[in-house]
A and B are shown apart, each in its own frame.
Chain A
Amino acid sequence: MIKNISNLGDAALYCDFGNDVNREINLNVIQFFKNIKKSNIPGITNITPSYNKLIISFDLSITSFDKIKTEVEQLNFKNEIVNLGNLIKIPVCCDNDFALDIKRLEKLLNLEKEEIYKKFFSKKYYCYMTGFIAGMPFLGDLDDSLYARRLDTPRVKVPKNSIGLTEQFCNIYTFESPGGWNIIGKTPLDIFDNKNNTSPNLINPGDTISFFQISKSEFEKKYD
Chain B
Amino acid sequence: MTENYFEVLRPGINSTFQDNGRKNFYHIGIPFSGAMDNRNFVIANAISNNKKNSPVIEFALQGPKLRYKGDKVYFNVTGDVNFQILRKNKIEEGVCYQNLVLENNDCLDLISTNRSVYGYLSINASFKIDFYLDSCSVNTKAEIGANNGKILQKNQIIKIENITKKYSSNKLDYIVSKIENIRVIKGPHFDYFSETAKELFFKEKFRITKLTDRMGIRLDGPKIENIKYTNIKSEGLVKGTIQITADGDPIVMLSDHGTIGGYPKIGVVISADYDKLVQIPPGSKIKFKEINLKDAETIYKLYEMETRNLISKIK
Contacts and interface: CB of A to CB of B under 8 A. Distances in A.
A53 B300 contact: no
Contacts of A133: 29, 141-142, 258
A131 B268 contact: no
B144 A50 contact: no
B258 A46 contact: no
A138 B25 CA distance: 16
B29 A50 contact: no
A141 B144 CA distance: 31
B27 A33 contact: yes
Interface string A118-147: 000000000001111111101000000000
Contacts of B247: none
Contacts of B142: 133-134, 175, 192, 194
Contacts, number: 142
6 contacts: A9-B296, A10-B268, A45-B23, A57-B238, A132-B259, A175-B141
Given A55-B238, A133-B258, A10 B296 contact: yes
A50 B26 contact: no
Given A134-B141, A134-B142, A48 B234 contact: no
Nearest to B133: A197
Given A64-B297, A200-B28, A201-B28, A50 B260 contact: yes
Contacts of A54: 236
B188 A205 contact: no
A205 B27 contact: yes
Interface stretch (A11-19, A84-92, A107-115, A181-189): A11-19
Interface of B: 23-30, 32, 132-133, 139, 141-144, 149, 185, 187-188, 233-238, 240-241, 258-261, 265, 268-271, 293, 296-297, 300, 304
A10 B296 CA distance: 7
Interface of A: 6-12, 14, 16, 19, 21, 33, 45-55, 57, 60-61, 64-65, 129-136, 138, 174-175, 192, 194, 197, 200-201, 204-205
B24 A134 contact: no
A50 B235 contact: yes
A131 B270 contact: no
Given A48-B259, A131-B236, 11 more contacts: A19-B233, A45-B24, A45-B32, A47-B27, A48-B235, A50-B234, A51-B233, A55-B26, A131-B28, A132-B259, A134-B28
Per CB-CB distance, the 10 closest pairs between chain A and chain B, nearest first, are A9-B268, A48-B236, A55-B236, A131-B29, A134-B142, A131-B259, A46-B26, A10-B296, A50-B235, A53-B235
Nearest to A177: B141
Contacts of B28: 130-131, 134-135, 192, 200-201, 204
Contact of B236 (A11, A53, A197): A53
A54 B30 CA distance: 16
Contact of A130 (B24, B27, B132, B187): B27
Nearest to A195: B132
Contacts of B25: 46
A150 to B, nearest CB: 10
Contact of A134 (B30, B238, B268): B30
Contacts of A33: 27
A160 to B, nearest CB: 11
Contacts of B144: 134, 194
Q: Give the most central of A9, A11, A53, A132: most B CB within 10 Å.
A: A9
Given A194-B143, A200-B28, A8 B241 contact: yes
A5 B226 CA distance: 24
